Amino acid sequence: MASVMEIYQLLPKTNCKECGKTTCMAFAVDLLARKFSADDCPPLVNEEKYKENYDKLSGMFTPVAGVSETGLIVHTEKCTGCGNCVVACPVDVAADPQGAGSGRAPTTDKVIFKVVDGVVTANNVQECRRFGENIILCVACIDTCPTKAIEFV
């Protein structure tokens, strides 16, 4: 997944305010949170010199088939069902401290990761901390997965 700095580097960096934001950096933050798209920066869309950057930025946010808006994918063929991601995910722990957050079977459907028949499934991915208004680049699930079965694209 792109970072704010990567996005910023592809913007015109003129702080022209045409997008409604006061700086290109502020626009980059909102672009990462999917509140804006590359099309909302008029100079990027209209000026030939920015065409390459516009194409790159648009490509970063094009949904890949089968991938949710958050970009979270589980390579189920690599998952051993160990459950590390279930207990590591702060959303799971907050939603279900007694169940998923304690290494037990989930007691609510509000969790993101759930092991079903020996393979993890990802649900409620819009609740992922990497997504939405208070975005943080959480890597807890990726870091704890021993088989690198979780990826953000």
153: nearest Cα among 74, 78, 71: 71
CA distance linking residue 101 with residue 31, whole number of Å:
32
If one asks whether residue 100 binds ligand SF4 (CB under 6 A), the answer comes out as no
Least spacing, CB of residue 49 vs ligand SF4, in Å: 12
85: nearest Cα among 68, 64, 100: 100
If one asks whether residue 150 binds ligand SF4 (CB under 6 A), the answer comes out as yes
Per residue in 40-65, is it b (16+ CB within 10 Å) or e — as a string? bbebbeeeeebeebbeebeebbeeee
29, 83, 93, 151: residue in contact with ligand SF4 (rule CB under 6 A): 83
Which of positions 24-43 make contact with ligand SF4 (CB under 6 A)?
24, 27, 41-43
If one asks whether residue 141 binds ligand SF4 (CB under 6 A), the answer comes out as yes
If one asks whether residue 18 binds ligand SF4 (CB under 6 A), the answer comes out as yes
If one asks whether residue 82 binds ligand SF4 (CB under 6 A), the answer comes out as yes
Write down the H helix ranges in the chain.
4-10, 24-32, 42-46, 51-60, 84-88, 90-95, 140-144
Least spacing, CB of residue 111 vs ligand SF4, in Å: 9
If one asks whether residue 132 binds ligand SF4 (CB under 6 A), the answer comes out as no
If one asks whether residue 81 binds ligand SF4 (CB under 6 A), the answer comes out as yes
CB 53 within 8 Å of CB 82: no
Cross-strand partners of 72:
152
Question: Which residues are at the interface with ligand SF4 (CB under 6 A)?
Answer: 11-12, 14-19, 21, 24, 27, 41-44, 72, 74, 79-85, 88-91, 112, 115, 120, 128-130, 138, 140-141, 144-145, 147, 149-150
